[in-house]
Amino acid sequence: MEINPVKGTHDIIGDEAEMYSFYEYDCRLMAELFGYKEIRTPIIEHTPLFLRSVGESSDIVTKEMYTFDDKGGRSLTLRPELTAGVMRSIVSNKLHANADLPLKYFYCGPCFRYERPQAGRYRQFHQFGVETVGVSSYLSDVEVIILGKRILESLGIDKVKVLINSLGDEESREAYRKALKEYFAKHIDKMCGDCKRRFEINPLRILDCKVPEDQEFIAGAPKMKDYLSDAAKLYMDNVEEALRKAGIDFEVDDNLVRGLDYYTGVVFEYHMEDDDIGAIGAGGHYKNLLKEVGGPDLEGVGLSFGLERLHYVFTKYHEERPQSGPDFYLMPMNDEAVDLAFSLADILRSNGFAAEMNYEPKSFKSSFKIAERKRSKFAIIIGEDEIAKKQITVKNLKTQEQSSVNTDDMLMVLRSMLEEYIQAQNVEEAEVK
């Protein structure tokens, strides 16, 4: 019986996996420039962590979590996002106690949400993100928004729209919540079931509803900006001003509320200007999250990118990176040559060359076909003649030039051939650009 992959999950294989490593590497480099250190937290956490952080009115908690009882009867959940785990880890390890604040961590790893799979939406996906904890200056929000933009720029992803909004402070949100309740009370009986539930628990979440029939009611709802306290307004003004100074284009989007309950204050998302894949990355400020999970009263700001969305955007807008292949493909022509090729491959790899080989003798024609399919730079042919003369025949698979090399000088000669090959490739790429 064939066992299929679990719905909403996907295998990432070979060249594609290499591209994911490239995004991770790029994000990590940029985060390190901004002073973040890596944190790796478990994929499973106690369920109450997410109830308290992501929030009981969020879609994630109400319908998307992979929650199960372990054999000891504990309720565990596969993390739907990483921020909560990072906060838990700060508390568990008392990271705030012995370090200069703010704490700055980046993370990368799989997340799980029981969502309806569609383009750019999976049940297992990967996030790269950062958290800054222990600073209340608006500059920390601005810095994180800039970091996100720089990550996208370094991947060559431009045409990006940065959307920001303020969810206000407690005072503003209380006034806004009251206004929304009053407004939606007149319409809620005509709205979807989810909105009815949100109306009871957290009317702000209604603004995130995607049901087409509900949009006319949402469009007429009061706007957060009209309920911001003076302090919240000043904070948002400062953020906008600092973003302008940093040359970051942005739009203020009144309906941006984000799907996680822990956000307070400034929230933001990165979208493509001309594609509706959804947010590539998103984040915001959280005032009470660390306290909610048992830590000290320190506020923070975070950002996370979905690697699947980065991949979608990167491959859609840019030529794929040149796909890698081995430096040398060894083609033994008889059984004795197979043994020799095996030893040579080992020597090549120990000296830092990527080498692959045929494990059985094959014809010239099929060996060359394999070497080309594998995108090898060179083929190394070893037959009867070569063994007798203690030589190998090396063929550049781009120029088709062929030469004999004594096995004694092999490393030195192959190294210089490879250098020449790479130089020629660089010149070619520069000319294309």
Which residues contact ligand AMP by CB under 6 A? 81, 113, 115, 120-122, 125, 127, 259-260, 279-282, 304-306, 308-309
In the complex with ligand AMP, which residue's Cβ is closer, 218 or 260?
A: 260
In the complex with ligand AMP, which residue's Cβ is closer, 89 or 304?
A: 304
In the complex with ligand AMP, which residue's Cβ is closer, 146 or 260?
A: 260
In the complex with ligand AMP, which residue's Cβ is closer, 279 or 331?
A: 279
120 Ramachandran zone, left/alpha/beta (phi>0; psi -120 to 50): left
- Closest distance of CB 198 from ligand AMP, Å: 16
d(CA 191, CA 202): 15
- Closest distance of CB 211 from ligand AMP, Å: 18
Confirm if 310 and 346 have CB atoms less than 8 A apart. no
- Closest distance of CB 98 from ligand AMP, Å: 29
- Closest distance of CB 424 from ligand AMP, Å: 39
Give residues with Cβ within 8 angstroms of 335, minimum separation 6. Answer: 361
Name the one residue in this structure whose structure tokens are 């890596």.
38
- Closest distance of CB 308 from ligand AMP, Å: 5
Establish whether the linkage from the previous residue to 102 is cis, with ω within 30° of 0.
Answer: yes
Confirm if 380 and 359 have CB atoms less than 8 A apart. no
In the complex with ligand AMP, which residue's Cβ is closer, 113 or 287?
A: 113
Residue type, 220: G
- Closest distance of CB 118 from ligand AMP, Å: 9
Identify which of 62, 49, 64 has the alpha carbon closest to the alpha carbon of residue 202: 62
In the complex with ligand AMP, which residue's Cβ is closer, 23 or 227?
A: 23
Q: How many alpha carbons lie under 13 Å from residue 196 in its C-beta half-sphere? A: 5
- Closest distance of CB 113 from ligand AMP, Å: 5
Residue nearest to ligand AMP (CB): 306
In the complex with ligand AMP, which residue's Cβ is closer, 64 or 214?
A: 64
Pinpoint the alpha helices (H) of 42-135. Answer: 47-52, 59, 83-92
DSSP string across 2-47: PPPPPTT-----THHHHHHHHHHHHHHHHHHHTT-EE----SEEEH
In the complex with ligand AMP, which residue's Cβ is closer, 258 or 287?
A: 258
Q: How many alpha carbons lie under 13 Å from residue 123 in its C-beta half-sphere? A: 15
- Closest distance of CB 263 from ligand AMP, Å: 9
- Closest distance of CB 260 from ligand AMP, Å: 6
Pinpoint the alpha helices (H) of 42-137. Answer: 47-52, 59, 83-92
In the complex with ligand AMP, which residue's Cβ is closer, 282 or 382?
A: 282
Confirm if 47 and 67 have CB atoms less than 8 A apart. yes
Count of CB atoms within 10 A of residue 282's CB? 24
In the complex with ligand AMP, which residue's Cβ is closer, 88 or 113?
A: 113
d(CA 94, CA 134): 13
Tokens of 122: 């999976």
- Closest distance of CB 326 from ligand AMP, Å: 33
- Closest distance of CB 116 from ligand AMP, Å: 9
Instruction: Write the burial class of residue 254 (CB in 10 Å: 0-12 exposed, 13-18 middle, 19+ buried).
Output: middle
Three-state helix/strand/coil letters over 183-230 = HHHCCHHHCCHHHHHHHHHCHHHHHHCCCHHHHHHHHCCCCHHHHCCH
In the complex with ligand AMP, which residue's Cβ is closer, 36 or 329?
A: 36
